[in-house]
Amino acid sequence: MRRIAGLTRRTALRGGSTVAATALSGALSGAWIRNARAGANGTLTVALSDNPLTCDPINMTSHDTMIISQSIWENLLEFDVDGTLKPQLAKALPEISADKLVYTFELRDDVAFHNGKPLAAEDVKYSFEYMLDPQNKASRRPIFDRLSHVEIDGPHRLRVILKEPYSPWVFFQTKHMGIWPKGSRHEFGDDYFKLSPKGVGTGPGMFEEWKPNDYVSLVRNPNYWQKGKPAWDRLVVKYVPEDASRVAYLLSGQIDLMGAPPPRDFTSLKKRSGIDGDTRGTFGGWTALLLNSKRPPFDDVNFRRAIAHAVDRETITKRIFYGLVERSAIPAPASSWWFNPEADKSLAYDLDKAKHYLKQSKYAQGASFELMTSAVPYLLDTKDCVVFLQSEFAKLGIDVKLRLADAAVINPAMFRGTYDAMFRHLMSPGEPTYFLSQNFLPNQFMSEVGGYRNPKIDELLKVVFAENDEKKLKPVYDQMMQLLADESPYVWVGYFNATNLWRKRVAGFKPSRGLTINVHDATLG
């Protein structure tokens, strides 16, 4: 953990400054993976700001490092880079029963695991039921806890049976599930899937090596069912937490592609010779101030309303995140079909309203709280933003103490709700209900975050889970968005984009609306 007392605007902003010559020099020193530069022997090298902790998809926590799990494992369906739900190991989207409790899938018959074993329905049944078994302690099990079991209709045909209607589950497979050979988890154990999963996936990449705190490497699956893919011989995913170092590696040709480019430098960097880049909106990327309603001062709804009106989202999204975050005051991107413009407008930046609600709260005479954020950029650097928020809240007489923490501290604090307030970028699979249910319903993956509960939210989500028609769902979401705006359990700033920089030798790549870097279609020139 790193705790920085007395953080000033100057020191916070310094971390995001344009890459200096000294930083470039330092980043280029030291040995490189296998003494090879990016591109040698068909190697595609990707630099992430986040450190991989596991290869196992049912225990993965970081959307950045899902590039590893999503290259090794596949699922019945995938949420592709354009945010479209498509078949993957299944031949087509499922047949859904009238009561919406049975999803029937027909599997492809040309897929084999990395060990050569053909994919069959019994593998899918084993994979789902292993994940659903509470004894196996899969961290992602609560996401799928409305699933009951799998029934086999034939070698390549199966039915997924639900306990109750829950239409969103099909969208969550890409991020939080994988299909492995029958019996493999019991044969090899969880550590094998976490650290060295050889032979147990169907994806384009086969596990090769993991050097902790440095890199994970995969090699091309020569028998991949999508013929001609991947177009690389080796994929190296390197951990490079410092913005300056990732940029230096890219400019010098030591990596091909980078995640989490510094916002203030993105536009100029993508214009550099030999460099390309793009930014695309996501449907699941919260940029939000998480408030703990179980702790003062956030136990008072009027104080939360005051905070919500004191956030200048326009300045934050345009001048701090340089357009890489889409402004929204509610948990819906402005470009999405479930966005409620009236609910969004009701939380417009207005210091007079903020003072009005503060006066009505239990903390009219002033309040203080600790605001945590990530010391190392995850997706986008948050340090400039929390310093700005500190100064804005000071206008209301609210004292904010800033605390920077590493992922090993900030993630457990978030999952357990042991914080006052936390500013974070959080990514979901990209459909409307995921974060709403994970944060505001009991017994879910992030159920302790914030401590906010409202039976009306439970009721509205139950309606949503049983319906697929967007026209019928829109008024339900409008009601839910207005309720969340009124009670402000969190303060939403917007939805961040998927943003990447890469060398022009990489073709066929584009940032994913699901955020995770997807290199299945990337080719090397």
The reply to whether 130 and 78 lie within a common domain is yes
Tokens found for residue 212? 């902790």
Q: Are residues 417 and 432 in the same domain?
A: yes
Residue with tokens 């709403």: 436
Look-up of token digits 């809240």: 393
Query: Are 195 and 179 found together in one domain?
Result: no
pTM: 0.85
Pair (476, 339) in one structural domain = yes
Domain shared by 45 and 114, yes or no = no
Q: Which domain holds residue 520?
A: 20-71+190-279+499-524
Burial class (CB in 10 A: 0-12, 13-18, 19+), 391: exposed
Residues 50 and 169 in one domain: no
The answer to whether 266 and 260 have CB atoms below 8 angstroms apart is: no
Number of domains in the chain: 3
pLDDT of residue 27: 39
H helices, E strands: number in the chain: 18, 19
Are 136 and 265 in the same domain? no
pLDDT above 70 for 387: yes
The per-residue pLDDT for 149 is 96
The owner of tokens 């995921």 is: 434
Same domain for 415 and 467, yes or no, is yes
Does residue 520 carry a pLDDT above 90?
yes
Strands (DSSP E) found in 212-356: 215-220, 234-239, 257-259, 275-291, 325-327
Is the pLDDT reported for residue 437 higher than 50?
Answer: yes
pLDDT band at 522 (very low <50, low <70, confident <90, very high): very high
Q: What is the mean pLDDT of residues 497-511?
A: 95
Same-domain status, 447 and 386: yes
CATH of the domain at 274: 3.40.190.10
pLDDT of 91 > 50? The answer is: yes
In a domain, 469, yes or no: yes
What integer is the mean pLDDT of 295-302?
Answer: 98
Residues 368, 232 share a domain: no
Given a cut of 70, whether residue 145 has pLDDT beyond it is yes
Please compute the mean of the pLDDT values over residues 499-520 and round it to a whole number. 93
Residues 328 and 430 in one domain: yes
Mean pLDDT of the chain: 90
Average pLDDT rounded to a whole number, residues 406-421: 91
Cα–Cα separations (whole angstroms), residue 83 to 88, 218, 280, 336:
14, 25, 11, 12
Say what the pLDDT of residue 16 is: 37
**Residue that is last in its domain, among 187, 221, 249:** 187
CATH number at residue 319: 3.10.105.10
For β-strands 43-48 and 257-259, DSSP reports them as: parallel
| Dihedrals phi, psi of 280, to nearest 5 degrees | -135, 140
| Burial class of residue 37 (count of CB atoms within 10 Å of its CB; 0-12, 13-18, 19+) | middle
The per-residue pLDDT for 8 is 39
Task: Using the predicted structure, report yes or no on whether residue 64 has a pLDDT greater than 90.
Answer: no
For 472, other C-beta atoms within 10 Å of its C-beta total 11
Q: How confident is the model at residue 61 (pLDDT cuts 50, 70, 90)?
A: confident
Render pLDDT for 319-331 as a digit per residue (tens, 0 to 9): 999 999 999 999 9
